[in-house]
Amino acid sequence: YIPLKELFKDHFFVGAAITPAHTDIRTPHGRTLVEHFNSVTAENVMKPDAIQRIKGTFTWTEADRIVQFAKENNMKVRGHTLTWHSQTPDWFFFDQTGALLSKDIALKQLEEHITAVMTRYRGMIDSWDVVNEALFDWDPDGQIIYREDSPWYKIIGESYIDSAFVYAHRADPDAKLFYNDYNSIFSWKRNKIFDLVKRLKDNNIPIHGIGLQGHWFVGTSVEDLRTTLELFRGLGVEIQITELDLSVYLSSNEPGSVVYTDEFNTRQRIAYPEIFRVLLDYSDAIAGVTFWGIGDDASWLDTPGRKHFPFLLNEQLQPKPAYFDVQRLLRR
Ligand code: G3I
């Protein structure tokens, strides 16, 4: 086999979401990272609850380890994430009585957080997910645009998004600034993303890219992916697939298995090359593809009795048949 990063080197970088433990090159995960990937994302340790759990007390050790590993091995880093409703300590939003903070205080704390994190890693991060998952996920009529249960939205309204990008650009003018979301390829979400990014650009807010997370099932429509890439390319921003994992199930209703069956293998041998065919067709607009993990041994999707086997590398971190089908798209 040809390592993933070699395979795609003329098209896009290939990344993986990792934990700090994965950076030890004496371990199989560390070796696999260096062999196959030229970018990493911290799966959890750069989120607000990891870096500033207590107001004013910054914990850099784990994030530093990942950034240092990337530097030593010539890899890019995707920064994930600065402004999110989840994995963000309560003090960002509430006072001691549990009441929502004022707009001014919440914005000031956001600015301080973004400035501290981006200043520490200035020049070392390729792209930052400045705002994550701000849009409401299901609303076919398009009446509800934003995730209104986000405390950011409750306190500040939609302009917290604009502010976050302005703070981020000030802190590291060279980093590419991204809006990142899931279910982005589906009609009910992609138009909202388009409208948001268009509004930001029209208002001269510094935004440089859209992250499509890519938590997909084998039955996910590649036509939706194609339509979305076509639409977003028109915005003139960079596109990245930021959290790719392709569950072997057709949907969340299918009974779980802990065995990688022939059926699962067949499904991924069809779906994976279909997806990468489309990504290659749009590689002029796509800068990178990041998997949300390394191999099938571990995925955030897995629960007892139900493994998702979502990657191109198996539980032993070896290429699966679908890997060779993807490889065949590039080397005939
Ligand atoms: O923080 C505690 C830690 O103190 C404790 O030792 C540990 C023991 O179980 O639990 C820790 O928290 C867990 C955290 O991962 C770190 O391992 C949380 O319970 C768990 O919910 C959390 O899950 C993460 C999830 O985001 C939370 O939102 C997943 O690992 C991570 O893959 C997932 O990633 C998100 C992206 O950031 C955004 N897009 C969707 C994607 C998948 O949900």
Nearest CA to 63 among 23, 109, 108, 97? 23
Q: Is the CB of 27 under 6 A from ligand 1?
A: no
44 Cβ below 6 A of ligand 1: yes
Q: Is the pLDDT of residue 281 over 70?
A: yes
What would the mean pLDDT of 141-169 be, rounded to a whole number?
96
What is the predicted pLDDT for the residue at 140? 79
Residue 247's DSSP bridge partners are 217
Q: Residue 332 has what pLDDT?
A: 61
Closest protein CA for atom 13 of ligand 1: 44
Helices (H) and strands (E) in the chain, counts: 11, 9
The residues facing 17 across adjacent strands are: 41
Distance CA 218, CA 147 (A): 27
Q: Are 77 and 66 in contact (CB under 8 A)?
A: yes
CA of 324 to the centre of ligand 1 (A): 31
Q: Give the number of C-alpha atoms closer than 13 A to the C-alpha of residue 286, restricted to the C-beta side.
A: 28
Looking at residues 126-131, what average pLDDT do you find? Answer: 98
How far is residue 285's CA from residue 262's CA, in Å, rounded to a whole number? 35
For residue 115, give the nearest of 169, 156, 66 by alpha carbon: 169
As a whole number of angstroms, the distance between CA 192 and CA 146 comes to 9
Band (141; pLDDT cuts 50, 70, 90): confident
> So which residues are the catalytic ones?
243
* Interface ipTM: 0.93
Q: Give the residue-averaged pLDDT of 81-109.
A: 98
Q: Which of 44, 62, 241 to mutate to test the pocket of ligand 1 (most atoms within 8 A of CB)?
A: 44
**CB of 302 sitting under 6 A from ligand 1:** no
| Nearest residue to 14 via CA among 279, 302, 314 | 279
User: Tokens 């998702």 belong to which residue?
Assistant: 308
pLDDT given at position 139: 86
pTM: 0.97
Predicted confidence (pLDDT) at residue 331 exceeds the cutoff of 80: no
Is the pLDDT at 322 greater than 90, yes or no? Answer: yes
pLDDT in tens, 23-50: 999 999 999 999 999 999 999 999 999 9
- Count CB atoms within 10 A of the CB of residue 131: 27
Query: Could you tell me if the CB of 129 is within 6 A of ligand 1?
Result: no
pLDDT at 224 over 90: yes
Question: Residue 116: pLDDT band by 50, 70, 90 thresholds?
Answer: very high
Output the CA 44–ligand 1 centroid distance in Å: 6
What single-letter DSSP state applies at residue 94? B
Cβ–Cβ contacts within 10 Å for residue 281, how many?
13
Whether pLDDT at 113 is above 80 = yes
Q: Return the ligand 1 atom nearest residue 213 CA.
A: 39
Q: Give the contacts of 83 (CB within 8 A, at least 6 positions apart).
A: 110, 114, 130, 131, 132, 134, 152, 160, 161, 164
Q: Is the CB of 213 under 6 A from ligand 1?
A: yes
Whether the predicted pLDDT of 247 surpasses 70 = yes
